[in-house]
């Protein structure tokens, strides 16, 4: 971008050349986004499709391209602001009228990570015609129209309401239930000082409350806010149960050691998580009821004959769950590559909304933190989540003798509306069986 001279006020432009860019529809029925940063300043010259700002939504930071070129007149929001869809973001003076305002743009000119193609494919792998024909839409709404209308009337911020509708959508009942708990409120902005009891705080000469060294307050925004809403919805709306199995995975560890020396996996970081993912996918093929979704509106259980495998990733920005599209068709080598890619992309903050939405089954690895097991919450819109614990050498009875073996614990949390105890146990036992004897996976690797 090029720095320019001071520009006149927009009101003085009688020719209609000052164009206003409003926050566009960010997809998934989202009503707003958090402005992360500006890439331009007042007086800068911007080009068509140049990135002008970053907005965080759906656990991803989305780059906003400029729909026109010209000189920046005014920035209408500040980093940390929660901006409603349709609210003005920036004004640009375009003396040459070389481009049209956003309303004139075709619908296919969409933000990075969105678009017609992005609905059913990832940016790394194209779906085959057979996949596209058999894969239902994964577009997810954040709230029903009636719920949005009621929330607006009551002054309720939908980000603070946990959804119980299809795929976690907020319903009218959810909005009504949130009134005594949430109440009308304005989302906090990043950097705002939140008023609190005087204990642990001091007041400066202007009457502003400032935190002391004893406490630090961080506004709930961005990924943390969305994760909190999803987990609240999971805890409140999903009747969850869990089951566990301890597994002798010595044979799997020996197989991984051997595969790492082969040319097939040269240049790749082959971890136990990839083999666990392969075992889980093979078990899903035997027990498709574990890969389902609950459709409250139509009172149906939706069985999905494709697996978008979510991989839970701890990042500096919070928990992120990118998913591998059509994971059931991936070889072990491809799974290894895709898992590594998904983790690196999530940690670097480059995951798009397409990478993060549409998951059907999730795998989380708490073993990397030295934890033996865990009870994860099921993601709204899915039926189960598999937890891998640490893999350690432990005393184990092997062939009627005490031996030192590689052992781990697998945990499965599931939605008891769709998955009963028998199905959950059989799925988990089958996954464990593949890890105890990985040669049974040979035809699937």
Q: Which residues are catalytic?
A: 416
- 6: which residues sit within 8 A by CB, 6+ positions away? 43
Q: Give CA angle at 160 (156, 164), nearest 5°.
A: 100
Please name the residues in contact with 129: beta carbons below 8 A apart, sequence gap of 6 or more: none
Buried b / exposed e over 45-54, threshold 16 CB at 10 Å, is ebeeebebbb
Compute φ and ψ for 382, nearest 5 degrees. -120, 170
Percent helix, percent strand, percent coil in the chain, to nearest 5: 30, 25, 45
Question: Nearest-CA neighbor of 375 among 383, 390, 361, 385?
Answer: 385
Q: Could you give the CA distance from residue 328 to residue 309 in angstroms, rounded to a whole number? A: 8
Alpha carbon distances (Å) from 374 to 171, 231, 371, 410, 439 = 31, 15, 8, 9, 28
According to DSSP, the residues that pair with 310 across neighbouring strands are: 323, 362
Coil vs helix vs strand at 227: helix
How many whole angstroms separate alpha carbon 414 and alpha carbon 162? 19
Q: 217 exposed, middle or buried (CB, 10 Å; 0-12, 13-18, 19+)?
A: middle
Instruction: Choose among 121, 131, 128, 32: nearest CA to 355.
Output: 121
Closest CA to 350 of 376, 315, 324, 385: 315
Residues 416 and 433: their CA atoms lie apart, in Å, by 23
Rounded to whole angstroms, how far apart are CA atoms 104 and 93? 17
Write out the two tokens for 83. Answer: 């901006």
- Tokens read off for 328: 């059931």
Q: Tokens 């304005």 map to which residue? A: 186
Alpha carbons 281 and 363: distance in angstroms, whole number: 10
φ and ψ at residue 206, rounded to 5 degrees: -90, 5
């Amino acid at each position: 971008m090029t720095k320019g001279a001071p520009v006149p006020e927009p009101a003085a432009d009688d020719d209609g050349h000052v164009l206003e860019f409003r926050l566009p529809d960010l997809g998934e029925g989202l009503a707003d986004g958090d402005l992360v940063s500006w890439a331009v300043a007042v007086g800068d010259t911007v080009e068509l499709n140049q990135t002008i700002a970053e907005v965080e939504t759906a656990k991803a930071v989305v780059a906003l391209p400029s729909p026109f070129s010209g000189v920046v007149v005014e920035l209408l929001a500040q980093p940390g602001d929660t901006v409603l869809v349709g609210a003005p973001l920036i004004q640009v003076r375009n003396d040459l009228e070389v481009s049209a305002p956003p309303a004139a743009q075709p619908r296919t000119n969409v933000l990075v990570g969105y678009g017609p193609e992005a609905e059913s494919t990832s940016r790394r792998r194209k779906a085959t015609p057979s996949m596209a024909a058999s894969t239902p839409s994964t577009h997810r709404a954040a709230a029903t129209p009636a719920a949005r209308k009621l929330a607006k009337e009551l002054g309720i911020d939908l980000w603070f309401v946990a959804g119980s509708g299809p795929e976690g959508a907020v319903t009218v009942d959810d909005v009504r239930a949130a009134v005594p708990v949430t109440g009308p409120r304005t989302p906090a902005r990043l950097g705002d000082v939140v008023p609190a009891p005087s204990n642990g705080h001091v007041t400066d000469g202007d009457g502003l409350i400032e935190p002391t060294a004893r406490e630090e307050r961080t506004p709930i925004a961005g990924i943390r806010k969305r994760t909190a809403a999803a987990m609240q919805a999971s805890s409140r709306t999903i009747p969850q149960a869990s089951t566990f199995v301890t597994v002798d995975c010595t044979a799997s560890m020996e197989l991984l050691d051997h595969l790492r020396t082969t040319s097939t996996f040269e240049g790749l970081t082959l971890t136990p998580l990839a083999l666990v993912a392969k075992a889980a996918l093979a078990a899903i093929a035997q027990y498709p009821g574990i890969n389902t979704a609950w459709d409250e509106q139509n009172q149906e259980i939706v069985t999905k004959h494709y697996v978008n495998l979510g991989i839970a990733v701890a990042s500096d920005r919070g928990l992120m769950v990118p998913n591998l599209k059509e994971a059931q068709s991936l070889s072990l080598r491809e799974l290894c590559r895709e898992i590594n890619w998904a983790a690196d992309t999530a940690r670097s903050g480059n995951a798009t909304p397409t990478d993060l939405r549409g998951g059907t089954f999730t795998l989380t690895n708490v073993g990397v933190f030295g934890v033996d097991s865990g009870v994860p919450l099921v993601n709204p819109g899915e039926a189960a989540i598999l937890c891998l614990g640490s893999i350690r050498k432990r005393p184990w009875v092997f062939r009627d003798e005490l031996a030192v073996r590689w052992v781990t614990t697998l945990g499965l949390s599931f939605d008891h509306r769709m998955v009963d105890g028998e199905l959950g146990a059989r799925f988990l036992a089958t996954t464990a069986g593949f890890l105890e004897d990985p040669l049974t996976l040979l035809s699937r690797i």
